[in-house]
């Protein structure tokens, strides 16, 4: 693999801006180029100095990149691959930060030329905020980043990308795209569904009694609607399967509560409490962020 | 109403210890007496100096109190009312910090003597931690506290209690016990159910991929099992009704996702996003904590 001299991030939102900021902080010798198709975003990104350079032209922005990172909404990936394919230098690594991975792998295989190495990335970081104005150099500190590879993936490219995310502060895990979408459907996409359902089950009058527990439980539902719609549409089967699993668990709890079955309620709550305690311990051991 | 010279808190857990600590901080002229039936808890509470005095005898602890606050698990309330009824001074206000209110009102009406004024309290504060070791003087700062009254409630006692919780830092709302249990069933008890279901829908392998979103969404599920079991058993109908509502919302989202109905997914997510945005605005305006 080439030495990393330039990375280019396509899409200057919360994630894209945070990647270039994190590169400026952690890899000061690397040129961090950002691009957005919206002039107003480019202007804002320049004002905030989130990158070494904000490019006006997408093709030009990638022409000297050793690593190109797509940070647009997932629904734009296929089009972006088409736009950049002829401008990518040989040996370049291409990745994306989409929250689903099966479709990006499929699009990359179809669109990207030989001699360019695609690996999927999913840094599980971000917040319910959106836009480059919320970009932070420390967004990836202690975050989990899942890399997705297939049998066709260049191992050296995957290694280089693993090193890159580690240098940005991530705890990196590797898996396949289908496995990623199955697991993340349950652990990441499902909480968003559940949070939205919990809010929509209440009206403005009952919401006024919300305490910290409710605010925490529903925080993710303040996230950007278009991004999350893309995610659910890109992972329909797993998300629907996850919803079924949660409903089954809710029915189990409801049955125990309706029956006044103290032992069964305690059993189910204790199971959840212990699972979460093991998870907290696991994350602390790996120095992954809990907040 | 009498001037507040002594309060007695029965039960020295996270909430009980935080009340006496908050009184020491915000009402330094008031004597804050704490009681626990467990010698080890009394010892710990004394070591941590969470109260002016930790009493060894429950009857003695309330005999000169102007305000008695039950901070034990709800399932102990009826018994505690019986234990203290003959020792309460005339004119004393009695309240509790239980998360359900219909049953405490019923028990108080049955057990407490005339000349003693019961009002329900539900400070929506706490954390997933438990025990006096986690008690904090600022636990109630900017928290919502719901007071519950009936037609029989002494208005002056309710006013005095409202003042007390406000002085401890709470934003106080008044409602009836049945209305409280209905609303809180949806806004406070339901998030716990949903969080537990979300964890139990995952296994240790998928949990390892949890990001901050999952940790936040499930935080409350680390709370004490006995406390929450009491809450659900004390509010079965409303909790079960709330579960039905959430399931209906989950089914709606699942239908839209399975159908690939982009507009409907966006509509449901946007509804949740806007509701939460209004809630955040409302809480900020009232200076209620968002965290």
pLDDT at A189 over 80: yes
CATH number for the domain spanning A219: value is 1.10.3660.10
Distance, in Å, from the CA atom of B99 to the CA atom of A278, rounded to the nearest integer, reads 27
Considering the domain architecture, whether residues A165 and A230 belong to the same structural domain is answered as no
Residues B252 and B109 in one domain: no
Alpha helices by DSSP H, listed for A133-220, are 155-167, 177-184, 190-200, 204-207, 212-218
A273 with B210: Cβ contact below 8 A: no
pLDDT at B1 over 80: no
Mutate to test the interface with B, among A14, A177, A209, A224 (most CBs of B within 10 A): A209
User: What residue in A sits closest to B221 (Cα-Cα)?
Assistant: A273
- Residue B120 shares a structural domain with residue B207: no
Find where tokens 């999927």 sit. Answer: A120
Q: Within this chain, do residues A139 and A22 fall inside the same structural domain, yes or no?
A: yes
Look at residue B291 and tell me if it is in a domain: no
When scoring A198, A232, A271 by the number of chain B Cβ atoms within 10 A, the one with the most, hence best to mutate, is A198
Q: How far is the alpha carbon of B197 from chain A, nearest alpha carbon, in Å?
A: 5
Is there a contact between B250 and A197 if contact means CB atoms under 8 Å apart? yes
- Establish if A291 belongs to a structural domain: no
Q: Which of B144, B174, B210, B281 to mutate to test the interface with A (most CBs of A within 10 A)?
A: B210
Here the CATH number for the domain that contains residue A100 is 3.40.50.720
Which of the pair, A290 or A177, is modelled with greater confidence? Answer: A177
Query: Cα–chain-centroid distance for residue B203?
Result: 30
pLDDT of residue A291: 65
Same domain (yes/no): B129, B62: yes
Residue-wise pLDDT for A63-113, tens only, equals 999 999 999 999 999 999 999 999 999 999 999 999 999 999 999 999 999
| Confidence at residue A286, expressed as pLDDT on a 0 to 100 scale | 85
- Confidence class for position B212, pLDDT limits 50, 70, 90: confident
- Cβ distance A253 to B197 less than 8 Å, yes or no, reads yes
Question: Across the interface, do A249 and B197 touch by the CB < 8 Å criterion?
Answer: yes
Quick one: closest CA in B to A262, which residue? Answer: B229
Please give, rounded to a whole number of angstroms, the shortest distance from the CA of B136 to a CA of chain A. 16
Q: CB burial class (10 A; 0-12, 13-18, 19+) of residue B177?
A: buried
Instruction: Express each pLDDT in B82-135 by its tens digit.
Output: 999 999 999 999 999 999 999 999 999 999 999 999 999 999 987 778 899 999
Mean pLDDT to the nearest integer, B12-37: 97
Residue B53: which pLDDT band, with cuts at 50, 70 and 90?
A: very high
Residue B151 is predicted with a pLDDT of 96
Dmax over CA atoms of chain B, in Å, equals: 66
Distance CA A200, CA A217 (A): 13
Same domain, B169 and B207: no
Q: Within this chain, do residues A25 and A146 fall inside the same structural domain, yes or no?
A: yes
Q: Inter-chain contact B196–A269, Cβ cutoff 8 Å?
A: yes
Under 8 Å between Cβ of B153 and B110: no
Question: Quick one: pLDDT at residue A129?
Answer: 82
- Confidence at residue B143, expressed as pLDDT on a 0 to 100 scale: 92
pLDDT digits (tens, 9 = 90+) for A191-249: 999 999 999 999 999 999 998 899 999 999 999 999 999 999 999 999 999 999 999 99
Predicted local confidence at residue A128, as pLDDT: 77
Residue B290 included in any domain? no
Query: Helix, strand or coil for residue B29?
Result: coil
A195 to chain B: closest CA residue: B217
B82 with B192, same domain: the answer is no
Determine, for residues B146 and A209 on separate chains, whether the beta-carbon distance falls below 8 Å.
Answer: yes
Nearest-by-CA chain A residue for B187: A210
**Domain-embedded: residue A34:** yes
Out of B191, B202, B270, name the one closest to residue A198 (CB): B191
- Provide the whole-model pTM: 0.88
- What is the total count of domains within chain B? 2
- pLDDT exceeds 70 at position B72: yes
Which of A128, A146, A175 is the last residue in one of the domains?
A175
Residues in chain B closer than 8 A to A209 (CB atoms): 124, 144, 146, 173, 183-184, 187-188
Query: Is B40 contained in some domain?
Result: yes
Contact across the interface for B213 and A248, Cβ inside 8 Å: no
Q: What pLDDT digit, counting tens, does each position of B227-245 carry?
A: 999 999 999 999 999 999 9
Q: Cβ separation of A125 and B211 shorter than 8 Å?
A: yes
Mean pLDDT of A270-285: 95
Question: Are the beta carbons of B250 and A240 separated by less than 8 Å?
Answer: no
Partners of A146 on chain B (C-beta within 8 Å) are 209
Mutation site for B-interface testing, chosen from A250, A255, A285 by largest number of B Cβ within 10 Å:
A250
> Which of the four pLDDT bands, split at 50, 70 and 90, describes residue B206?
very high
Average pLDDT, chain A: 95
Predicted local distance difference test score (pLDDT) of residue B291: 65
Query: What is this model's ipTM?
Result: 0.89
Interface A–B counts its CB contacts (< 8 A) at 309
| Mean pLDDT, range A131-145, rounded to an integer | 94
- Tokens 């925490």, located at residue: A216
The residue segments making up the domain with residue A254 are 180-285
In a domain, A1, yes or no: no
**Which of A178, A182, A184, A200 is the mutation pick for testing B, counting most B CBs within 10 A?**
A200
- A136 and A57 share one domain: yes
Is residue A290's pLDDT more than 80? no
| Same domain? A107 vs A244 | no
Please indicate, yes or no, whether residues B217 and B201 belong to a single structural domain of this protein: yes
Strand B31-35 and strand A144-148: the pairing is: unpaired
Q: For residue A290, is it within any domain?
A: no
CB distance B278–A124 less than 8 Å? no
Checking if the pLDDT of A1 tops 90, the result is no
Of B119, B151, B175, the last residue of a domain is: B175
Examine the domain organization and report whether B56 and B111 are in the same domain: yes
Boundary of a domain, candidates B123, B152, B175: B175
Residue A236 domain-assigned? yes
Q: Which residues in B lie closer than 8 A to residue A268 (C-beta atoms)?
A: 196, 200
pLDDT of residue B286: 85
B179-206 exposure pattern, b = at least 16 Cβ within 10 A, e = fewer: ebbbbbbbbbbbbbbbbbbbbbbbeeeb
Min Cα separation B123/chain A (Å): 9
Q: Minimal CA–CA distance to A95: which of A153, A41, A39, A51?
A: A153
């Amino acid at each position: 693999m080439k030495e990393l001299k330039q990375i280019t991030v396509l899409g200057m939102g919360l994630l894209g801006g945070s990647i270039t900021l994190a590169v400026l902080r952690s890899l000061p010798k690397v040129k961090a180029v950002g691009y957005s198709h919206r002039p107003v975003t480019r202007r804002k990104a320049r004002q905030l100095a989130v990158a070494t350079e904000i490019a006006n032209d997408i093709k030009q922005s990638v022409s000297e990149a050793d690593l190109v990172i797509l940070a647009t909404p997932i629904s734009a990936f296929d089009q972006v691959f088409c736009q950049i394919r002829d401008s990518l230098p040989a040996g370049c690594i291409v990745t994306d930060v989409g929250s689903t991975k099966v479709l990006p792998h499929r699009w990359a295989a179809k669109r990207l030329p030989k001699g360019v190495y695609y690996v999927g990335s999913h840094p599980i970081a971000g917040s319910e905020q959106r836009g480059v104005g919320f970009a932070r150099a420390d967004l990836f500190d202690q975050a989990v980043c899942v890399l997705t590879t297939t049998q066709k993936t260049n191992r050296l490219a995957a290694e280089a990308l693993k090193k890159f995310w580690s240098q940005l502060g991530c705890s990196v895990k590797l898996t396949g795209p289908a496995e990623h979408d199955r697991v993340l459907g349950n652990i990441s996409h499902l909480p968003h569904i559940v949070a939205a359902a919990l809010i929509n089950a209440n009206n403005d009058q009952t919401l006024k009694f919300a305490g910290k527990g409710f605010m925490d439980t529903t925080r993710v539902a303040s996230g950007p609607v278009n991004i999350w719609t893309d995610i659910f549409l890109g992972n329909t089967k797993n998300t629907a399967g996850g919803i079924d699993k949660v409903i089954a668990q809710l029915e189990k709890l409801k049955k125990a509560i309706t029956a006044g079955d103290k032992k069964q309620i305690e059993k189910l709550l204790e199971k959840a409490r212990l699972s979460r305690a093991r998870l907290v311990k696991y994350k602390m051991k790996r120095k992954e962020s809990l907040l």
